[in-house]
């Protein structure tokens, strides 16, 4: 008799739990906290007081040869100054694993200086299937396939098909065929904070700077890794991109929604 009684109580408790779960989802519109998925963000921070050689490869534009000696560190900032034409330094991150995350946030404090009538310094995101730090021998895609490009354009000395002449451009790989790009006013010779967000779940890339925000569409990142490139490319010399602080956060859109709901 006692066993039957205990079984009856257990069945009632299970039924109550099922009822609570159903009500939380269908009545209140979201699962209870103990049911919700939580994702611990992956965060990388760098103030560029020195070169983190485990995370960044310093290369030379076009040749891809090591160029750490061309970097300049001043007041805990890193300078990508171009002193030789077509031989300026760039920084390329190691392949960063997504590990199931679908939201990438890249935030940095930066100052940009064009040295001639043609300057197109940039922040570029690539995707790749390789976890190797080494640059691929594929001449067309040595860093992987492009996902997004933020370009600080000063295009007066060279004919270019890219939109605008003096602006910040947010470009998708299909910017030309489908006009998938957005333009913002330029910011030269002063510090500013920018944020690039790749929403892999909703196929949106968002760029924020100085209280302004633009969006373009994206095919998303289908490879397991992505890489970040920063450079000061332009015609002749005198170009510079100086980076003070940088933060990379990998999280999930589900968590973003959850945080917004709880506020």
Higher-pLDDT residue of 158 and 226 is 226
Determine if the pTM surpasses 0.75.
yes
Q: Which of 94, 36, 46, 35 minimizes the C-alpha distance to 252? A: 36
> Which pLDDT score, from 0 to 100, does residue 1 have?
52
Same domain, 59 and 87: yes
Q: What is the 3-state secondary structure (H, E, C) of 46-67?
A: ECCCCCCCCCEEEEECCCCCEC
The predicted-structure confidence for 13-69, as pLDDT tens digits, reads as follows: 565 555 544 554 444 444 444 445 556 799 999 999 999 999 999 999 999 999 999
The predicted-structure confidence for 122-153, as pLDDT tens digits, reads as follows: 999 999 999 999 999 999 999 999 999 999 99
Same domain, 69 and 13: no
Domain hosting 30: range is: 1-36
Same domain, 2 and 55: no
Same domain, 186 and 161: yes
Same domain, 204 and 115: yes
Same domain, 8 and 52: no
DSSP state of 84: S
Same domain, 132 and 19: no
> Which pLDDT score, from 0 to 100, does residue 19 have?
54
Residues 6+ apart with CB under 8 A from 112: 121, 152, 187, 188, 189, 240, 241, 242
> Which pLDDT score, from 0 to 100, does residue 76 have?
83
> Which pLDDT score, from 0 to 100, does residue 112 have?
98
Provide the domain count of the chain: 2
Q: Is the pLDDT of residue 102 over 60?
A: yes
The enclosing H or E element of 38 equals none
Cα–Cα distance measured from residue 160 to residue 141, given in angstroms and rounded to the nearest whole number: 21
Cα–Cα distance measured from residue 72 to residue 93, given in angstroms and rounded to the nearest whole number: 18
Same domain, 169 and 156: yes
> Which pLDDT score, from 0 to 100, does residue 8 have?
59
Q: How far apart are the first and last CA of the chain?
A: 51
Q: Which of 30, 69, 73 minimizes the C-alpha distance to 50? A: 73
Higher-pLDDT residue of 231 and 20 is 231
CA dihedral over 95, 98, 99, 105, signed as positive or negative = positive
Q: Is the pLDDT of residue 262 over 90?
A: no
Rounded to the nearest angstrom, the gap between the alpha carbon of residue 209 and the centroid of all alpha carbons in its chain is 14
Cα–Cα distance measured from residue 198 to residue 150, given in angstroms and rounded to the nearest whole number: 12
> Which pLDDT score, from 0 to 100, does residue 185 have?
97
- Average pLDDT along the chain: 88
What one-character-per-residue DSSP string does 5-28 give? HHHHHHHHHHHHHHHHHHHHHHTS
* Alpha helices by DSSP H, the chain: 2-26, 175-178, 253-262
């Amino acid at each position: 008799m006692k066993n039957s009684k205990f079984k009856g109580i257990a069945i009632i408790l299970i039924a109550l739990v099922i009822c609570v779960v159903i009500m939380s989802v269908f009545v209140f519109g979201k699962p209870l906290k103990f049911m919700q998925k939580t994702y611990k963000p992956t965060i990388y921070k760098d103030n560029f007081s020195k070169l983190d050689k485990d995370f960044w490869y310093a290369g030379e534009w076009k040749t891809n040869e090591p160029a750490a000696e061309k970097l300049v560190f001043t007041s805990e900032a890193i300078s990508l100054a171009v002193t030789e034409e077509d031989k300026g330094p760039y920084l390329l991150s190691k392949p960063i694993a997504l590990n199931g995350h679908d939201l990438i946030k890249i935030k940095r404090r930066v100052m940009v200086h064009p040295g001639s009538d043609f300057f197109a310094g940039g922040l570029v995101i690539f995707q790749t299937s390789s976890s190797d730090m080494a640059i691929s021998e594929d001449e067309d895609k040595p860093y992987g396939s492009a996902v997004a490009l933020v370009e600080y354009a000063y295009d007066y000395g060279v004919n270019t098909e890219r939109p605008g002449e003096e602006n910040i451009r947010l470009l998708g790989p299909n910017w030309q065929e489908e006009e998938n790009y957005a333009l913002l006013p330029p910011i030269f010779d002063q510090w500013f904070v920018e944020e690039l967000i790749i929403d892999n779940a909703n196929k949106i890339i968002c760029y924020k700077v100085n209280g302004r925000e633009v969006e373009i569409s994206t095919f998303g990142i289908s490879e397991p890794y992505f890489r970040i490139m920063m450079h000061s490319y332009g015609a002749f010399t005198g170009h510079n991109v100086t980076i003070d602080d940088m933060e990379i956060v990998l999280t999930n859109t589900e968590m973003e929604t959850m945080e917004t709901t709880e506020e």
